[in-house]
Amino acid sequence: MMSLPEPTLESWIGGEGIDFEDEAAREQYRTRAQRYADAILREEPDRVPVAVLSTFYPAFHHGITPETAMNDGEQLSAALLHFVEDLDLDVLAWSTPLVPSARSLEAVDYRGFDWPGDGSSPETVYQAKEPDSMTAEDYDAFIRDPTDYLIRNYLPATFGELEGMAQFPQLISLSLGIASVHPFVLPFGLPEVQEALDALEEAGEAALEWEGIVGATVEEIVASGHPQSVGGITLAPYDMLGDMFRGTRGIMMDLKRQPDTLLEAVERLTPWAIELGITTARVNNNPHVFIPLHKGADRFMSQDEFEEFYWPQLREVIEALLEEGLVPWLFAEGSYENRLESLTDLPNGPMVWHFQNTDMSMAAEAIGDQACIAGNVPTSLLYTSDPEAVRDYSRNLVETVGENGFILAPGVGLDEAKPENVRAMVNSVR
C-alpha cells in the first residue's frame, strides 16, 4: 500500500512537509498555527484566532459568479489569493474539494447536486438534492456489502454517465482462482461499462487539472505563511446514510418504521466514517478533520433517538480520530442546545466544536472545559447588517465564551456576505 504521512497537531504547527516561500513566511505560518493550536488546546493563545469558514465567499468577494468559480480554475485561484490578502487570514478554512470543477461533475453527469449552470442559476451556489435511489427495502443488500452497493447501485443511480457500473463485476467473484478471471474481466468488454470508464477517465482528468491549478494555489497560500485548517473530512455515520443514500425523509421514516435495521446500517457505516476521516487527513497531510453534522440537530430527532442512532456512533468516530492524533472539527449545524448534555461525555483530546444557532453561553458552559468552541457570527448579520453591528456581535461573543479555547468564525460556511462586514468580524479581535 502507498504510504501516507501521519499528520498531528504538532507536525502541523511545525509546518512539516511545506516548502515555504521564505523564512519570513515560515515564521508567520508558525505564529498563526501556534495561535490556532493554542486555542484548540485551550492554552491561552496570544489572541482569539479567526477562521473565516467559506465556500463561495472568495468568489463573490472577488466579483466572479459561482458558475465562473466552478468553470475557471485560474479565476477561482485569483479569487482565493485576493481573499487571503484582503483579510490577512489566521488560517485558511477552505479546501479545494469544496469547489469542484464543473467539467468533472458534468463528465460523469453527477445528479446528487444542482450547481450553477447545471440546475442552479449562475449566481447561485450548489445545492444538495434529496437522494431517492435507495429504498426502504434495499437495506439488506446495503448492510450485506456496502462497497458492492456503492459500486453497482449507488454509482449508476447517482451519475448519469455511470449507468454501466450496474454491470461492474462483483469483486467477490475473484475468489474462484482461474475460474474467476473470465467472470471478472468480461463486463469490461461490454459497451455500457466501457462508456462508464470513458466518462470516469474524462472526469478524472478534469479533476486532476483542477487540482493542478486550484490545489496548487492553495499550496502557494500555505507556503506564504497561512496554515490551512481543513485537512480531512468525514461525516457522522447517520448523516452518511441520510445524506447519500436514504435522504432526509427516508431516514426519518426509517427511524419510525424500521429502527432496528436503521441502527444496523448506521453501525455498519461507522468503521467507514473513521477510515474516511483518517485517509483524507493523511492524503492532505493535515490533521484537522472537518465533520459537518447535518441531521442530528435539536428538532431533527428526539433526545432518545439522538442517544441511540446518532451520538454513540459519532462519538466512536471522534474517539478513533483522536487516537490517530487527528483533530476533529465538529460543525454542528442548526441548534444543538438539547444535545449539549450528551456532548458533555466527549472523549479526551483536542477538538473543535463549531456551532451555528446554539446559544454560545450554554455551549461554553456545557463543554468549554473539554473542547475548543467556535462560531457563530450569523450569516444573516454578515449579509444584511453593518460593520459596527458585526463588531459588537463578535466582541460580545468573545466575552461570552471567553478568550481561551475559542475560535471566532461565521455560523456556517460563508457564501454571500458584505466584505466590510467580514473584515469587521476579522478585525474585531485584533
Which stretch of DSSP H or E encloses residue 411?
none
Q: Which stretch binds another protein (CB under 8 A): 188-196, 214-222, 248-256, 276-284?
A: 248-256
125 contacts another protein (rule: CB under 8 A): yes
Please, are residues 417 and 383 in contact by the beta-carbon 8 Å criterion?
yes
Site for another protein in 145-174 (CB under 8 A): none
- CA angle, residues 182, 185, 189, in degrees to nearest 5: 115
Cell digits for 299? 428538532
**Nearest residue to 159 (alpha-carbon basis) of 123, 124, 208, 202:** 202
Position 217: which residue type?
T
260 contacts another protein (rule: CB under 8 A): no
Report DSSP letters for 119-156, one per residue. EE-TTS--EEPPP-SS-GGGHHHHHH-HHHHIIIIIHH
Please, are residues 53 and 410 in contact by the beta-carbon 8 Å criterion?
yes
338 contacts another protein (rule: CB under 8 A): yes
Q: How far is the CB of 22 from another protein (least distance, A)?
A: 38
114 contacts another protein (rule: CB under 8 A): yes
120 contacts another protein (rule: CB under 8 A): yes
Considering only residues 27, 183, 208, 249, which one is a binding residue for another protein as defined by CB under 8 A?
A: 249
398 contacts another protein (rule: CB under 8 A): no
Q: Which is nearer to another protein, 28 or 55 (CB)?
A: 55
CA gap 407, 49 in Å, rounded: 5
Q: How far is the CB of 339 from another protein (least distance, A)?
A: 12
119 contacts another protein (rule: CB under 8 A): yes
Cell digits for 189? 468488454
Site for another protein in 363-392 (CB under 8 A): 378-381, 383-385
Considering only residues 195, 264, 324, 415, which one is a binding residue for another protein as defined by CB under 8 A?
A: 415
CA gap 318, 53 in Å, rounded: 21
- CA angle, residues 111, 117, 118, in degrees to nearest 5: 20
Contact string 285-314 vs another protein (x = CB under 8 A) = --------------xxxx--x---------
Considering only residues 220, 267, 324, 416, which one is a binding residue for another protein as defined by CB under 8 A?
A: 416
Cell digits for 370? 473539554
Q: What is the contact surface with another protein in residues (CB under 8 A)?
A: 114, 119-121, 123-125, 127, 129-130, 248-249, 252-253, 255-257, 299-302, 305, 333-334, 338, 357, 378-381, 383-385, 411-412, 415-417
